[in-house]
Chains A and B, each alone.
Chain A
Amino acid sequence: MLKSVSARADAVGTFRHVSVWLMETVARWTPSTPEMEAKVMFGRHIWDYAQMADALGKRTFELRRHEHYTAPPSAGYDAVLKDASAARATGDRISALYDGILPGLIARYRDYIAGTDKILDEPTIVIAERIVRELERQRAEASDLKAELKLASGSGPLLAAREKAVRSMLAEAG
């Protein structure tokens, strides 16, 4: 599935785009979300996403693109991201991101790991496995926060279904 260096670079660059989007989205929500506990969680996750983007951006250079090469995702995937970022209430925001976007993103990282050469592309696999662990930790933290603040369930499951229906996040695949 990911036979060429170029194909791997495009995938890693797209994952980097999503990491930067996550960082910017959560950063934008931080001042406009009232609850202190949610701001505190976002603060930690902003740094997580920045480190993910940084590691992916360094990997694109190793894959013969410029450092921090970033590829926009497919239109279908981008539309789902845009809808998630439009959430306003705290419960909707937490649900849209951690129940709506992250499960599918974790699955896409796992697909990448399964579909690439285990030896040739091991440096990307190491990064992707670390990111999966971090995203799963974030989902657990978000779940705890929802319980602590008694937040409404929000539109996450609906967004997750839409995300799943997008066949590929890569731009040329649609």
Chain B
Amino acid sequence: MSDEIGYFQVGNVTLRAEPARDACFTVVYRDAEMHEYDDASDTARRENLHRHMTNEITSLEIAAACLYEFPDAPWELRLELARQCWDESRHVRVLHRRLLEVGGYKGEFPIGTLEWNVTCALDSLIGRLTTQNRTLEAGAMDVVGILARNVRASGDDETADVLEGILADEVQHVRFANRWIKRLVAEDRRQLMKVAHAVRFLMEANSKFQIKDGGELNVIGVQLASPEARIPAVNVEDRKLAEFTDEEIHEILRQAGFRTLVPNPVPA
């Protein structure tokens, strides 16, 4: 493990300390501390782009950490992670470009690094693939799928095009993780314990920072809904492309109250 970035304690949970950030950024931990808006204003649009851009920085850092902290991983898996680093860095660039185009700037809003704090606290590569790629990036497929559609419906085709391009890359990041998790478990059943541990750890860590039951006001005075009401509709089409099984998709749908994102019509 790298000794450059340490750990910190939140209750009974040990998390990885923050990755380095430009001085212009303010890092926060709870969704209620983020500037989440409930309207379609220009400020809300900039905040959304800013949030996605900085989430992509975190995804890049997680993939990079998997490369240097697990040097004995199979070479083909390391290649996938290296490619993911490039993909995430391009996502940062394209979102930054769009943010500047709509009048925003780096550091305009608070940011989170929780995906890093949680994922990089895990000491197994299969655990990290389970939390980051299979769970959090898969969840991002749901979020970005909806967002791209809403943004296009609002008339912002440029941002929608950017988001759809990113989504295509994310499908591959989730797919290679699903493939490798299955392969590693098939080779050694004990790996399944690490997968289960990672899922429990993510849930426990999340519980420390998520919105309170019943909802709460965020720092800019917007009422945020309860955690269960914030689960996005499931992007079934892309989850299938990412090779989730029908049983897995059914379970995810059940957790989302069977709300699905209706697939885009296939052009004739």
- Hey, which bits of chain A sit against chain B, CB under 8 A? 23-28, 30-36, 39-44, 46-47, 49-51, 54, 57, 68
Contacts and interface: CB of A to CB of B under 8 A. Distances in A.
A130 to B, nearest CB: 17
B40 interface: no
Nearest to B120: A31
B109 interface: no
B268 interface: no
- Tell me whether chain B's interface is mostly helix, strand or loop, or mixed: helix
Interface string B209-235: 000000000000000000000000000
Contacts of A28: 2, 4, 64, 68
Given A24-B67, A36-B22, A46 B92 contact: no
A34 B21 contact: yes
A27 B67 contact: yes
A26 to B, nearest CB: 8
Given A28-B64, A34-B20, A68-B75, 12 more contacts: A24-B71, A27-B82, A36-B92, A40-B89, A42-B64, A43-B86, A43-B90, A43-B92, A44-B85, A50-B78, A54-B75, A54-B79
A15 to B, nearest CB: 16
- Tell me whether chain A's interface is mostly helix, strand or loop, or mixed: helix
A27 B23 contact: no
A40 B82 contact: no
B61 interface: yes
A122 to B, nearest CB: 25
B93 A27 contact: no
Nearest 4 Cβ contacts at the A-B interface = A43-B89, A50-B82, A47-B86, A31-B19
A43 B60 contact: yes
B116 interface: yes
A46 B106 contact: no
Nearest to B80: A50
B44 interface: no
Given A32-B19, A35-B22, A47-B82, A40 B61 contact: no
